Structure 1
Amino acid sequence: MASVSAQAQEFFNRYEQLKAIEQTKNLLIEVSSSFSRILAKKLPNSSLNSEYYVVNFNSAVLQDLLGRITELEDAYQRERLDHDRETRFNREVQMHEMELMEQLTRFKTAMDQEPFVIALLDGDGMIFRDSLVQQGEKGGKDAANQLWLAIRDYTSETFTNIHSPKIVARIYANVRGLGETLFKAGIIDKLSVFEDFVRGFNGGRLLFDFVDVGSGKDRADDKLAGKLSSFSHYHHETLKLNLYNCHCQQIFLGCSHDNGYARLLEDNLADIELTRRITLLEGFPFERELASLIGSYRVTKFETLFRESKITPLSNHTWENAVTTSNSYSSSNIGHPNSRAVSRTPSNSNGTAATTSAASATSGSSSTTPATWASTIAASASTTFKDLTPSKPSTPSPPVIERNKYGQRVDRIDFKAAPKDELNRVKKLKLCNLFFLLGDCPNPNCYHTHDYKLGKQERMVLQVVARMTPCHFGTECDDATCIYGHRCPLSEAGKKDCYWGSNCRFDADAHGIDTNIVKLTKV
C-alpha cells in the first residue's frame, strides 16, 4: 500500500508540472500578442521588413511552444498508461497476497490438528522389567499404560508448546527369539507367558503396537529407521517417516544398547531442528558410540519401566554331565549317534529339574566313541544301545563353529536325507528339544514331553527338527551348543528364495548360504 501511495503522489506532481507549463504557454502567447500590438502602435509607418520580423518572431515562438506542448502531452499519456498498469498490477498483487495469507492460515490450522508424539523402541534391547513380563497379558496392559503415562508427563513438563498430543508407541522385536531368551534366563516359566504379555501390550492402548519382526539379529534395527536409512532399512524408514512429519512433535528413540544407531543419529547433527525433535530413551546404559552423542540430543529414562541390565542366561554347567551332542553333520549323515541316554527325574525342592546320565552312572567319567549311521540303525532295530568301548583319557578339544568365506555359520546337515515320514512322526511327539538334545530343560513347568524313551535314530531326526526352527542370532551365532537352525532347510546355495517365499520363518539372510567351509571358529 505504501508503494501505491508514493506512485500516486509522483503522478500528481507531474500533473502539476504540466499544468504550470500550460499556464506558461498561455502567458507567452499573451505576451507575444501584446508585444505585437505595442510594436504596431509605436511603428505605424514602419517598413515591411519590420512587420515581417515581428510576424516571423511570433510564428517561431508559437511553433516552439506548440512543439513543447505536444511533447509534454505525449509524455503525460505515457505516464498515465504506466500509472494505470501499475495500479492494476498492485491490485492483483494485493489480491494474490490475500489468497496466500488465507492458504497459510488453512495450512497452519491443518498442521496444528492431530499432533502426536511417538516412541520407537528396539524391543530386543529395550526390555520391560521382569515384574511386568512375568504377569503375562495383565503385565502387558500395565506396561502400555505406564509407558503412556510416562511419555505424557515428560511431554507436558518438557514441551510446553505441545498441547494434548496423541501418544503412539511402536516396539519392534523378534517376539519368539526374545521369549526364548527370557525363558532360558528363567524369567518366565513358559514361552506363552511372553506371548500373552505382547498381546496385553497391544490391547493396552489404542495406538500402541508390539511388532514382531521375525528372526534375524538386526530385524528390530531394520524396522525402526526410513539405520534414520536399511532399524537399518525399515526402522530407519519408520524414523524418517515421523521425523519429517509435521504432525509429529517429538520422537522418543529407544536404542541405548546398540551402537549401530550411532551412524543414524550422526547424520542429523548438522540440523539442530532435527536433533530437537528426537529424545533418546535409555534402558541399558548407552554404548560407547551412542554415549558420545548424548550432548547433542535430549535424553531421558523411565526407570520403573525398562531393565537397566542385560539378560544373563542360566548357567549351563548342568549340561556338562549330560549328553554331549555334536552339532556338525556331513552330507552322508544327519547326526552322530554318540549321545548317552538321559532320564528325567522329578523336580527337586527348589523347582530345578534334575538330570542324570545313564552312561555316567555305570561308567563314571568314561567317554564314548562315535558309532556309524548304519550300526546305529541296526542296533536300534535289535536291542538297546550300549557303549562298551574302553575309555581313552584325553584332553577334550575346544568346540568349533564352521563358517564359509563370508563368515556365515554353516551347520553340516543334509535336510533332504532325512525321511519325511519320520520327521512328521517325531514332530507330532512334541518332544522337548532342550532336554533331549542338550540334556537339561531349565523350565520345570515345560509343557513338552520329557519322559519319552528316545531311540538313537529318533534322536538324530529330532536334531533335524530342531534345526528347522530359526536361531535368534542367525548366521552370526557363536554358540557351539546351539540346536536351532542357521539357514533355511529348503533353500539352496546361491538362491535367495525357497518354497515358502516371503512367508518363510527364516530371515532373508538365511537363504542361499554358501555351504563350503573355509574356516573354523574355536569357542
Structure 2
Amino acid sequence: MSSLSERIELVKQHDAEKADLFKALVDQFKALEEEKQKIQQELELSRYLCEKQLVDLKVKAQDVNNLQKTMDCDPFVLLLVDGDITKFLDEYIKRGAPGGHDAARDLRNAVYSHFQPKPNFLLDTKIIIHIFANIAGMIKTYQDSKIMSDPVVVRQFLQGFNREHALSHFIDAGDDKEAADSKVKGSGDSSYAGFFRQFSLTTQVCSRIVLVESVPFATKFSEVADKFEKTEFKTIFRETKIDTRRLSFRDEAAGRSRGSPPPSHASPSYASTVKHAGQSQTDVDLTKDMTGSTGPERPDGRKIYLNKDGYRVDKDDMLAQFEQLTAQHDSVKRELSMAQDTARTYYERMLQAQSDATRIIETVVEGDRFVLVLVDADSVPFVDDFVAKGMIGGEDAGKHLRIAVEAYHKLNSNYHPDDRIIIRAFANVLGSWRTYKAARTIADELVFHQFIAGFNRSHPLSDFVDAGSHKEAADTKIKANFELFYRNRHCQHILFAGSADSGYAGFLSQFSRPNEVNEKITLVEGPAFPFDLRKVAQGFRYTTFPAVFRSSKIQLPVGQTSVMTGLKRPGPELISNRERPSPTTVRTGIITPPTPQSSSGPVSSRPVVLPPIILNRFEQRIDTPLQIDKDYMQHLYQNLKLCNNFYLKGYCPYGSKCEFDHSQNLSPIQLDTFRHKARSSSCRTSFCQDPTCCLGHLCPRGTGCNINLCKFAPEMHNPDTTELYVYNPATNTKQQIPPA
C-alpha cells in the first residue's frame, strides 16, 4: 500500500513538473515573439536607412560630377617660358614685327598639336602664352653676338608677338638676375630644380606639367625632369645658347622632324558598388500552434494545456517547436546584424563621399584663390611722378597699386588672407611714351621702358604688357583676359581700370545684372567716366586709387600758336586732288587700297590721292583746316548718308552691298565739308599715321571745350604747332613746313 502511495505521489510530482515546464515554454515563446517583432521593426528601419543613404550617396556623386563639369568650363593650357634661357630661332627675331607674329602663331599651333591627341583634351581649350625675359639683356645679347645691331627690331618683334593673339604676352621682367625665374615660378625662393621637386613627390610621371626642352637641361634639372612629361619645339626655339664670343650668323636647324610624344592615357576611374543585404525569409507564424487555450484542471488543481485544436500539448513537440523558433530568431538577428553592417558601410561611404566632395570644393574654390587687376594704361594713366622716375617709379607704382588693391579687397566679404593679387596692365607703349614726352613728363623713350621694367620687377605677379600700336590692341587683350577669368572659380574678384574709354560700355553691359550690383567686378575710376560708361558703371562697385592713377587725362602743353589760328592750309603742291573717285577705278599718290575682290582674286586699281599727314615736333597728327559749306553741312546731317570709305579713302570694301550712298558727285568744297563732318568722330590716338584715316585728331571745339567730358583725348586739344612737318608714310620721311 505504501509503495502505491509513493508511486501516486511521484506521478503527481511529475505532472506538476511538466505543467511548470509547459508554462515556462509558453512564456518563453511569448518573449521570443515580442523580441522577433522588435527585431523585424529594427530591420525594416535599417533597410529604410540603407536606401536613404544610398540615395544620398548618389546625390553626392552627382554633385561631384556637376562640380567636375564646372571645372571643365573655360579650360585653358598655360605656357610659361623663361625667355632668358629659351630663345626663339634667329629667323623670327630678325624679321621684327612679322617674325613676332609668326613666332606666336607657330608656338600656339605647336602647343595645340601637342595636347590635341590627349583623351582629356577639350576642343574649346584656350592657350595662354606668357614669356618673361630681361629685354635689355636680350637686346645686348643679340648685339654682342652680331645677330642684329638695331634694338628697334627686337622691340618690334615683341610688339608683333603680343599683337598676334589677345592671350599671347611677351613681358619685360626687368634686369634683375632672377627676374624671369621669379615671374615664371611666382616666387623667387629656389632654382627651377628645387621648385619643380615639390610637384614630383610620387613615383609616377606627372602629366599635368609638360617641360619644353630647347637648350639641353642642366644636370640637376635633368634628374627632376624625368618625373614629368617632356616635349620639344625644335622649329620654334633655339637648341643652343647664343654665343656672344664670336659671330653667330649660322642658321639653326629648323626643319628636323619632331617626335611626337605618345598620347598619355587617362587615369583609370574606379566605381565602387555596394552589395545589398539579402531580404529576410518569408515570415511564418511559428507560434500558431502554441497559442492554445487553457484546458480543464486536473483533480489535484494543476492545469492541462491544449493547442488550438483541443489536443493536449506534448512535451517533445513543444521542445521541437521551441528549438525551431529559437533557430529562426537567431536567423533574424543575423539578418539584422548584416543590415546594420550594410547601413554602417553605406553611412561611412556617404561620409567619405561628403568629405571628398568638400575636399574637392575646397581645392577647387578655396585653393589658389586670386584677385585679378586689369589696367588699360592708355585710358587710365599712372601718376606722372611714377613715370618720370623710370625704373624706381615703376617699382613704386607696382607696389602702391598692390597695397591699394589689398586694402580694398580686405573690405570684401569673401576676403581670405591667402588670396593672391594678379596685376596686368596693357598699353600702346609707343603711343604712351610719345604722349608723356609731349606732356614733358619724360625726356625720352628709355625712361618709359625703364618704368615698365620697374613695374614688372615690383612683384612676380605684376605684368605691364606692350599691346602694340594697333588700334584696339589693349582693349582686345583686356577683354579676352576679362572673359577668361570672370568665370574662373579661383578668381574671387576683378578690378578693372579703364574709366576714360567709353568703348568698354558695351562690353561691360553683358556683366551687369538687373536691379542689383555685380559684386564680383569693381571699376577703378581714374579720369571721370564718360557718359556712356557712367550709366553702365551703376551696375558695378567702383573705387578710386588717387595715389596710383591720374584723376584727369594727360594735359599737353599748349603751343605758342593756336592750331586754328596759326596753321595755314598747305600749298597746292602738298594738297591732294580731291576729285571724287569712281566706284571701280580710283587714283592715289600714296597707297593702293584693297577692293571688294581682294579676298578672292587679283586687284585692279589706280593710286588713291589722299590729304597729306601733318605732324608737329612731338609727332602728333594735326588736321589741316578745311573750307566748308554750312548749308551743305546741314544737308549732310539731315538727308544724306554718304559712305566715308568711298569718298574719303577712295574705296569701299563692301562694294555694291554697302548700305551707304555711293552715287553723289561731290565738288571739292562739298568733299571738304563731308571730311569735316567725318572728323567730328575721334580717332583712337593722337599719333595716328594711317594715311587712310578720315577721323578727327583735333577737337573741333578748340579752347572752349570741357576736356574732362570730351570724347577727344586731352592731347587732341590745342597741341603745339610751332614746328610742323609733312609726313610721307611711303618713304617714312618728314619735310618741315616753313613758318608763316
TM-score w.r.t. length of structure 1? 0.50
Q: Which of the two has greater helix per residue?
A: 1
TM-score w.r.t. length of structure 2? 0.37
